């Protein structure tokens, strides 16, 4: 476990966390506002920013799985596969995180 922590690319975890915030605010919130016909767009955007901060215990396992996957992919020494994995992780991690919490966010808005 210590070797895994020492060899984890921390830049990758930071990029995943930041893209989770960006995708949530600029893509997820407008989609949710339109899908559920919510009138409180500011509150929904705030919730999409706060969800990764408040529910870090749900996001952290996704980040660790992605980091572990990147470590496995990098060990194969295939640059194209590594780039594809990074791109897929950047897109799928926020989608999975916010997808699991969409109903919770909907309940918090009181709609």
Question: Per residue in 44-89, pLDDT tens?
Answer: 888 888 888 888 888 899 998 999 899 899 889 898 999 999 999 9
33 confidence band (pLDDT: 50, 70, 90):
confident
19 pLDDT more than 80: yes
Question: What is residue 18's predicted lDDT score, i.e. its pLDDT?
Answer: 92
31 pLDDT more than 70: yes
Question: What is residue 48's predicted lDDT score, i.e. its pLDDT?
Answer: 84
Mapping DSSP onto H, E and C, the string for 5-60 reads HHHCCHHHHHHHHHHHHHHHHHHHHHHHHHHHCCCCHHHHHHHHHHHHHHCHHHHH
Contact 83, 8 (CB under 8 A): no
pTM (2 d.p.): 0.78
Torsion sign over Cα 49, 51, 57, 58: negative
């Amino acid at each position: 476990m210590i070797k895994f922590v020492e060899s984890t690319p921390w830049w990758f975890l930071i990029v995943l966390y930041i893209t989770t915030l960006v995708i949530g605010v600029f893509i997820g919130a407008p989609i949710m506002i339109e899908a559920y016909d919510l009138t409180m767009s500011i509150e929904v955007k705030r919730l999409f920013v706060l969800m990764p901060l408040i529910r870090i215990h749900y996001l952290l396992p996704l980040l660790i799985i992605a980091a572990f996957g990147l470590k496995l992919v990098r060990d194969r020494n295939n640059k194209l596969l590594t780039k594809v994995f990074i791109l897929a992780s950047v897109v799928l991690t926020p989608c999975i995180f916010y997808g699991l919490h969409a109903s919770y966010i909907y309940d918090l808005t009181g709609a």
